[in-house]
A and B are shown apart, each in its own frame.
Chain A
Amino acid sequence: MIYWIGIKEKLNNHIELASQLLLLMLGIYISIMSEKYGIWKTPVLFLGLFCWFFFRHKTKHPIIWMVFSALLVFDLYLMYLRVANHHFVLTFMTLSVLCYRYHKRSDILLKNTQILLVIVILASVLQKLISNQFISGNFYYYMLNRGFLFDPFLGFFSEISEVTKSNTESLIALQATDPNIGESIVLKDVFPNLGVISQVFAMLTIAMEFIVAIAILWKPKSRWTHLLFIMMIIGILCTRLETGFMALLAISGLFLCNNIKLRLLYAIIAMFCVVLVVTKLGYH
C-alpha cells in the first residue's frame, strides 16, 4: 500500500514525471547519436555538463534542456534527410518543454503536445492513404513474407521462419541477376490468404490511426481516447519494435492523460521502451 501511495504521488505530478522520462529518453538518444560528428558535439556536451554540474541551482535557465535542444537541432542541420522521423518529434517535444520551463503554463505545454500528436498521426495517415503500395496491401504482404513484422513472436513458429528464410534466399538469388532481363520470383506465403489479410490489415491501420488522431483532437483528456491511444501504441510495438518512437508517444500520452491508472500504464510503456532502446533489442 505504501508503495502505491508513493507511485500515486509521483503520478499526480504527471508533467514532471513525463518531463523526467523525456529527459531520460533524450540522454540515451543523444548518447547514441553522438557517435556521428562526435568531434563537434564534444565541446557542446562538455560545456553543458560543466554548466549543469556547477550552475544548475544558481541560474533560472534550464541548462540541460538547452544543451539537448542544441544537439538535436545540430543533428537536424547536418543530417536533415537522414535522421528518423521521431528525431523531429523529439526535437519539437524538447523545445516545448524548454519553453515551458520559462512560461510555466501547463495549458500551453499540453496544447503543444496535443496538437503535435494530432499533426504527427494525421500526417502518417495521409502518407499511407497516398501510397499505392500501402493501400493495396502489397507493403504488408512483403513485410510479412520477409518476417519483418511481428518478429518477436515469429520465433515460436518454426514453419513460418522456414518460409521467410526461403523467401530471403530467393530474393538474394534474384538480386544477383541483371534486373534488365526482367526476371521475377514468386514469394511463398507465411499463411493462406495473405493478400487479403494484408489489405485488411492496411485498412485497419489507417482507420485506427485516424480514429486516435481525431479522438486526441476532440477529447484529449477522455479515458476512451487514452485507451485507444494505448491500444495503438501496444499494437505498433507488437508489430514492430519501434521503441524510440513509441516511448515518445507514451510520454506524450502521459502529459495529456488525467487518469492515474492510465498514467501508470503510459509510464510503464515508456520505461519498457527506454529499456529496449538501451539493450538495443528495440530500435532507437
Chain B
Amino acid sequence: MADEDEDFSFGGKTGKTAGENPEPAASSQPSAEAAPEISMTGVETAVPVSTDPDIPAHMVRDADAPRRSAFSRASNDLWAALSNWTLWWRLSLLDIRSRYRRTVIGPFWSVLSVAILVVALGFVYALLWKVPYETYLPYFAAGYVTWVFITSVMNEHAGSFIAGANIIRSMTLPVTLHIVRPLFKNILIFFHALTVYVVAALALRYQLEQPLALLLAPVGLVILSANLLWIGIVLAVLCSRFRDFIQVVISVLQIAFFITPIFWYRTELLQDLNGDNIEAERGLADLILANCNPFYHLVEVVRGPLIGHVPEPITYIVTLSAAVIGLGFALFILGRSRGRIAYWV
C-alpha cells in the first residue's frame, strides 16, 4: 500500500493521514479488486492496450497505471499519442487549413515565400561569394527549406503545451499529442516547400553528384524528425514551466541560422582569401561551426542526400545517437514532470 501511494502521489508528500477519511482501512481493496476486472478487458501488458478497437489505449486507465514508473508512464503517453494517427493527422491538416483559411492560394503561400527568398538571396550570395548560381541556388534551396522546417517545429514546440492548455486541462489525452501535432504539420509544409528545391534543381539542370544519395533523403527526414520529437518534448516541458525559455529558443534559432553552413559552404571555412586550401590553420573553425554544431548535422542529414551528396559518417553517428539518448532523456523529463504540466500551462 505504501509503495502504491508513493508512486501515485508522484513528487508529493507521501505521509498518509487517515484523519478524516471515513473508511481508511478499506483503501487497499479497490485496486486489488479492480485489477482482475481490468485484465478481463485485455489490459495485461505494460502498455494498456484495449481489445475493443473503439477504445483507444489512452482512455483505459488500469489499476496498475499509478504503480508504473515515471519513465514508462511517459513512454506510454508518447506511444498513445503516436499510435492515434487518425487524430494527429486530422488535427495537423486542420492546423494547416486554418492557417491559410480564406486565402486564395492557400498552403502555397509557404512555398511562395520560400521561393522568393531563395531566388533573391540565392542570386545575391552567388554574386557575393563568386560561386556559380547553377550549383549555389539548389544548395541554398535545399538547406533553407530544411532549416525552415527545423525552426518552425522548434518554435512551435516551445509554446505547444501552452497553446494546447485548453485541451490539456479538460480532456483525457496524452500530452505528447501536442508535440506530434506541430511536428507532423510541419512535415507536410516541408513537402510543399520542397518543390522550391525541385523546381530550382530542374530549371538550372543541376547535376547530382551521386544520384543514389537521394534514397537517403527519406531516411534523413525520419532521423531529423525523431530528433525534433525529443527536443520538442524537452522544450515544451521547459517552456511551459519557465516562460523565459521561449525567448531563449527564438534567439538561439536566429543566431544558429547564420553560424551554420546553410547559405554559405562549409568548404569556405577551409579556404583563405585566394581560395587556397589552408586546412591546417582553419580546421578549428570547421570543427566548431560544422562538426561540433548540432544544427549542422540536423540540416546535413536531409540536405546532403537532397543535393546528391552522401553525408559523412559523423553526421549519422551524431544524429542517430542523439535521437536515441535524447529520446530517453526526454521521456525521463516528461515522466518526472507529467503530473505538473497541467498546473504549469
* B is bound to A: no
